[in-house]
Structure 1
Amino acid sequence: MELIETAVRDFSNWIWGIPLLILVMGGGLFFMVYSKFSPFLYFRHAVNVLRGKYDEKDKEGQISHYEALSTAIASTVGMGNISGVAVAITAGGPGAIFWMWVSAFFGIATKFFTCTLAVMYRGKDSEGEVRGGPMYVITEGLGEKWRPLAVFFCIVGLVGALPIFQANQLTAALNTILGPAVGYDTTSSFNLLGANVAYSSLITGLVLTVLVSTVIFGGIKKISKVASKLVPSMVVMYFILVIFILLQNASQIPGIFGSIIDEAFTGNAILGGGLGAIIIQGVRRAAFSNEAGIGTAPMVHGDTKTDEPVREGLVAMLGPAIDTLIVCTLTALVILSTGVYKPYLGESIGGIPVTLEAFNQAIPGGAGGYLLGLCILIFAVSTLLSYSYYGVKCMSFMLGAKRGNLYNYIYIGTIIVGSVASLDFVFTLIDSSFALMAIPTMVSAVILAPKVVKASKVYFAKLKGGEFS
């Protein structure tokens, strides 16, 4: 097992170096420049679409614009925003946050292109249902000769969609917060295949398995309805908590922004040394957080009830703005303003303990930990619900729609595995899978980018001409 963990870690560190830096950052920059920044001019219109002003209930598809974004955000606004930000800071220093911001701006352009294509080149599954996603973009947009690339995306997507990271970090948080509070022994364990497994982690995994199972077998419609209710509440709750903490440290905020910008270029206090290491940490954690260019969001946005691909691309681009520019920044400000990250600098895995310590320090009486624990619970569960659909869709593409739901059985089984596995292993395994998923997603999007630009010009011209009431 140790050899497998080492191999996965080494591969993850290699592929998230120059190869993915060029593909994800370079691709995002290309989309921004090639579109002449035009999507950024229509944020207000995107919000109006999200509000339901342009809903087309009679069109092909499964869900509304709002449900699509809620489901996509439910899968991105999660542990990556709480644990992932802490990892970025401890491994890359405050400067990593700057590169998360840069990656998010590129991610806005990337999601506009990839999700526009997801509607533009929709296909039908074996049951005749209209579906979207990178696999259909490849086969419908590039042709059947490209099918091996679509299948490759689906294979690595089956691993990337596994719930092991969310289950792992939720279990760690509950053990840290609730275990001592209720007097439960979180250290008691048993040996399984040479590994020590805590009874508390196993129990948490079993409970999560039951909870998630009650929703995911209902398909995207049930998942989207639950997500559309969970997402607003969890974001608002987290926002209120963070603002309360930041108000106590308001005088430090200008200096924090200064240190983020300064250390983004100086390379101080980081793991691995050098400016390149900071950039890689920022890009890697931003990709884990908002998933721009990975290919997960297009699988949801491609199922929207609309005949206007550009319209859905505009809605999708709101994701990185909400996820990374707002939620991740808020988490970073809490961690940096309390200073709890400093003892952990130089560690590749900081995770939940760092964020928990920040909240406990800022909100007295242990209340901070409990409140963050509630946020973590909602974040993790919403992500667990959304990710299952990605795996089902990948399996359906390869084996047929009737067999797609078989993935849910694999999915709920690995919730328990994630709950008892090591953080280092699950973190690098999902990181590696995301990197591989980005290859077919970005390659197909770059090739088909002219189609998006052409459709955008037509759509924006109609919008300015008042054709959309």
Structure 2
Amino acid sequence: MIINTFRSIISDINSFLWNEYWIIVIALTGLIFTIWSGFSQYKIIRHAPKILRGDHNNQDDSGIINHFQALTTALSGTVGLGNISGVALAITLGGPGAIFWMWIIAIFGMSIKLIEVTLSMLYRNIDNPDNPHGGPMWVADIGFKKLFPRYSKLGKIIAIMFSVSIITSSVTGGNMFQAWSVADVTYEYFGVEGWISGLLMSVIVAAVILGGIKRIAKVTAMIVPIMVTLYMLAGIYVLGVKFNEIPEMFRLIVLSAFTTSEASGAFIGGSVGTAFMYGTKRAIFSNEAGQGSSPIVHAAVKTNEPAREGIIAGIEPLIDTIVVCTFTALIILSTGIWDRNEDVQFSAPPIITNEGEIWSFSDTTHRDKSGKEGDPVIMHIIANYNEITGQYIHKVPGQIVSNNNSLEIKWEDFRSSETPKIHGEGYYFDYVGATLTAKAFDSVSAGLGKWLITIASWFFAISTIMAWGYYGEQGLIYLLGENSVFTYRIIYCSLIFIATLGLIETSIDLDNLSGIGLGIIVYANLPICWIFGYRAINAYKDYIKSERIQ
């Protein structure tokens, strides 16, 4: 009962935070900054490699980490389960067209990253040059004091709002989303109970984040390049096997972005609106453009040229979404795991009964050897119009339970004004997030997904949790000072364990939990970008002119 109440609450909050109007505002923000900066994406791609090579390094500048360490730490918060799990969620809930909107948001996101990181560098707190603090909270606080002193209290209020938001987002999307995804895929393949994975992750993360940003940067600088390389190599192998499917997958992605996606197998269909909604949301969650999170770590870089670090941050959406997310999407789509046929055939269809508009389904005997107690499953029914997908098919969740040494499925009730009918001749295992991606790899080479995705999920999730731990920590430092850090780190690591205790079971739960933190932080950060964006644009254009970048 408590868990169901929790799910209902996060679903309502997520629906309130994410609506089509706000998502359009985010996209328009990226479009405006793109045009205003003179289509900065081109110069970002050309100039960022030179900065990463160290051509502009100066050891006398303020800061404690270098450009590469900042980039890998920021990427550790983006290139990870947002790519492995988030892309799978986008396709499961929004269809192939969601990937197209992920691309668009990534391109616009490059300019948003440029703006928010440049602002963070312009207004960072360097009272202690060896321990700088930065991020949107400092932009709002210091920026209002310098530019709008009459409204300095407003700046303080906005700064507090963002600090609370970054802490909330670090706990939900940056921590619990990651921990649950790892526990789920580990349980799916190895039968390891979620709490065991949660406990182990808590200990590993604690050992690193207790050492602060220097230790986090060193660990992520080692982990991220290795794991991205391994993941890409495995992806190249899968796409090599499915090479003939790739052109059709690109066509499907573009076509589905502008037309209704018909139901097919495990996919219950999707509208243009759902593709746009889930694609945009997953892209923002994946590359973090507009969240104001990566500016926090970039503010620790050793440089006195704000726009230079903004350019480095600008390549993050390119790497994260255009490259890695597209790889994952093509793998899922080309293998057909997303719209597969029923995993298990009914021995006998459930008997449907009702009390008013509440419809119940009799228990189903589960005889398939691939299922185990606790596994979530779904069946499809035809009922009243589904406003989300624009069609008439609905998912009914169920769970495999043990009953007198046998397994059966208990289905959840369904509310409808029309009599539902079972759609299809069987049911599906509800492969959520990273597990769906792993199954795609497995369909090409047995065991590949089992080992690759499990190992990658562990490394990516741990590095992401560490990065977001630092983001939330900086928000707390702004609010309460340095003395609050140790307590925060202990609580943060404890929540890794709590997330694996069964609060999340389905893809909807996963989307709701990560969406709450993401929604709150974007609401707090974008107004800061709007108010002070012109300062970042001026700094960027001055830098481009002084460096004679063509």
TM-score normalised over the length of structure 1: 0.91
Out of 91-100 and 19-28, give the one that drifted further. 19-28
Shift of 1:205: 1.1
Structure 1 residue 213 corresponds to structure 2 residue 294:
no
Partner of 1:314: 311
CA contact (8 A) 1:125 1:396 kept: no
Alignment counterpart, residue 43 of structure 1, candidates 45, 69, 88: 45
- What does the per-residue CA deviation read over 1:243-264, in whole Å, with 9 as the maximum and x for residues that have no partner? 0000001011000000000010
Alignment counterpart, residue 95 of structure 2, candidates 93, 96, 99: 93
Structure 1 residue 404 corresponds to structure 2 residue 481:
no
Shift of 1:274: 3.1
Structure 1 residue 357 corresponds to structure 2 residue 439:
yes
CA contact (8 A) 2:40 2:111 kept: no
Instruction: Tell me, in whole angstroms, the C-alpha distance in 1 between the residues paired with 2:188 and 2:483.
Output: 41
1:374-453 mapped onto 2 (5 Å cutoff): 374-420=455-501, 421-423=503-505, 424-425=508-509, 427-453=511-537
Structure 1 residue 169 corresponds to structure 2 residue 178:
no
Shift of 1:288: 1.0
- What does the per-residue CA deviation read over 1:168-212, in whole Å, with 9 as the maximum and x for residues that have no partner? 010111111222xxxxxx5xxxxxxxxxxxxx2111111111111
- What does the per-residue CA deviation read over 1:130-181, in whole Å, with 9 as the maximum and x for residues that have no partner? 21101001111123321111111111211210211111010111111222xx
- What does the per-residue CA deviation read over 1:257-287, in whole Å, with 9 as the maximum and x for residues that have no partner? 0000001000214778532221111100001
Shift of 1:452: 1.5
Instruction: Tell me, in whole angstroms, the C-alpha distance in 2 between the residues paired with 1:422 and 1:90.
Output: 17
Instruction: Tell me, in whole angstroms, the C-alpha distance in 2 between the residues paired with 1:214 and 1:3.
Output: 34
Q: Which amino acid aligns with 1:456?
A: Y
Instruction: Tell me, in whole angstroms, the C-alpha distance in 2 between the residues paired with 1:77 and 1:264.
Output: 24
Partner of 1:191: none
Report the identity percentage.
36
Partner of 1:148: 157
Instruction: Tell me, in whole angstroms, the C-alpha distance in 2 between the residues paired with 1:265 and 1:349.
Output: 26
Instruction: Tell me, in whole angstroms, the C-alpha distance in 2 between the residues paired with 1:375 and 1:166.
Output: 12
The structure with higher relative contact order (CA 8 Å, sep 6+) is 1
Structure 1 residue 370 corresponds to structure 2 residue 451:
yes
Instruction: Tell me, in whole angstroms, the C-alpha distance in 1 between the residues paired with 2:160 and 2:257.
Output: 38
Out of 402-411 and 423-432, give the one that drifted further. 423-432
Structure 1 residue 78 corresponds to structure 2 residue 80:
yes
CA contact (8 A) 1:418 1:426 kept: no
Partner of 1:303: 300
Shift of 1:17: 1.3
Partner of 1:183: none
Alignment counterpart, residue 267 of structure 1, candidates 244, 252, 260: 260
Specify the structure having the higher radius of gyration (Cα).
Answer: 2
SS where residue 123 of structure 1 aligns? Answer: coil
Shift of 1:20: 2.7
1:229-308 mapped onto 2 (5 Å cutoff): 229-269=222-262, 273-308=270-305
Change (3 A) 1:73 1:42: closer
Change (3 A) 1:350 1:465: closer
- Of Structure 1 and Structure 2, the greater helix share is in 1
CA contact (8 A) 2:74 2:297 kept: yes
Partner of 2:356: none
- Of Structure 1 and Structure 2, the greater strand share is in 2
Partner of 1:113: 115
Q: Which amino acid aligns with 1:322?
A: I
SS where residue 307 of structure 1 aligns? Answer: coil
Partner of 1:5: 7
Q: Which amino acid aligns with 2:215?
A: K
Q: Which amino acid aligns with 2:301?
A: T
Change (3 A) 1:405 1:52: farther
CA contact (8 A) 2:307 2:539 kept: yes
SS where residue 49 of structure 2 aligns? Answer: helix
Out of 46-55 and 300-309, give the one that drifted further. 46-55
CA contact (8 A) 2:434 2:453 kept: no
Instruction: Tell me, in whole angstroms, the C-alpha distance in 1 between the residues paired with 2:128 and 2:497.
Output: 31
Instruction: Tell me, in whole angstroms, the C-alpha distance in 2 between the residues paired with 1:125 and 1:9.
Output: 42
Gaps of 5+ in 2: 146-151, 341-377, 379-388, 396-429
Partner of 2:545: 461
Out of 220-229 and 345-354, give the one that drifted further. 345-354
Q: Which amino acid aligns with 2:467?
A: S
Shift of 1:370: 1.1
Gaps of 5+ in 1: 180-185, 187-199
Out of 159-168 and 343-352, give the one that drifted further. 343-352
SS where residue 500 of structure 2 aligns? Answer: helix
Instruction: Tell me, in whole angstroms, the C-alpha distance in 2 between the residues paired with 1:57 and 1:175.
Output: 47
Instruction: Tell me, in whole angstroms, the C-alpha distance in 2 between the residues paired with 1:349 and 1:361.
Output: 14
